[in-house]
Amino acid sequence: MAADARPGRLAGRAALVTGASRGIGRAIALRYAEEGADLFLTATNEAKLEETRQLAAAHGGKVVTHLADVSGRAAVEAMVGEAVKKLGRIDVLVNNAGVYKAARLVDTTPEDFDRIMKVNLYGAFNVMQFVLRHMQARKSGKVVNIASTAGKWMSMNQSAYNASKHALVGLTRCAALEMGPFGVNVNAICPGFVETDMLEEFRAHGEILGMPFDKVKEAGLARVPLKRFLKPEEIAQLAIYLGSGESDGMTGQSILLDGGMLVV
């Protein structure tokens, strides 16, 4: 740890967080800043990313922002290079960038399927590949992929999203197997229903099913033993553990954080 590092569970660590402009990504960025990490934050929405930067910078430490679409391989290569240049290294990668669109399988357009896979799967692959090369050379690092309960089971009207998250869970396991000998931990968080902007996009489910949005939410909560939606900050708490030395013995896991929705 550097002599001037701030205190915290992530003190002295440098973290790259994608999709940091809102929701879970913003919550992770802010909690990482509170716990002493220096940050390189990326997203595609400049105004909202700047909001995150200002909130994170209030906790002290270095906070750098960078606009990038993770589905673009050349853009990701440049992004990772810039992160290493600005922070000196990448100790923790949080792969959070993602998109969602509800549609019945028979109505899903090839364009929508392609976009969801390019961001949620290929985007994660792009960022992981360039960051893991860096971590492998340093023989240390933590990767935290934000997957979903949709990567663990089936659900209506989101076959493209589910396919992307199932694939991300598999990618996490394979990466963990390959990177273990280099001292790099790779894990995934699989959140359930979380109170973010993406939850609002479930309105499309209601339109497909002919249900008002409040009934859609009631039906969702009926499957959750805790009978509430999760807060983004709760996902961030697990991301802190997975990004810290506390989780050095854990790799290849896809951890459910879903209010008990998938109790087995």
Q: Tens digits of per-residue pLDDT, 78-95?
A: 999 999 999 999 999 999
The answer to whether residue 146 sits within a structural domain is yes
The boundaries of the domain holding residue 179 are: 14-192+231-252
Number of domains in the chain: 1
The answer to whether residue 200 sits within a structural domain is no
Show the low-confidence residues of the chain (pLDDT under 70). Answer: 1-5, 264
The answer to whether residue 45 sits within a structural domain is yes
The answer to whether residue 169 sits within a structural domain is yes
Please pick, among 32, 100, 122, 161, the residue that the annotation labels catalytic.
161
pLDDT of residue 216: 84
pLDDT of residue 5: 61
The answer to whether residue 199 sits within a structural domain is no
The answer to whether residue 3 sits within a structural domain is no
Question: Does residue 241 have an active-site annotation?
Answer: no
pLDDT of residue 263: 77
The CATH code of the domain that includes 74 is 3.40.50.720
CA distances from 119 to 81, 127, 139 (A): 20, 11, 28
Per-residue pLDDT tens for 96-126?
999 999 999 999 999 999 999 999 999 999 9
The answer to whether residue 226 sits within a structural domain is no
Q: How far apart are CA 85 and CA 94, in angstroms?
A: 18
* pTM, full prediction: 0.94
The answer to whether residue 221 sits within a structural domain is no
pLDDT of residue 197: 80
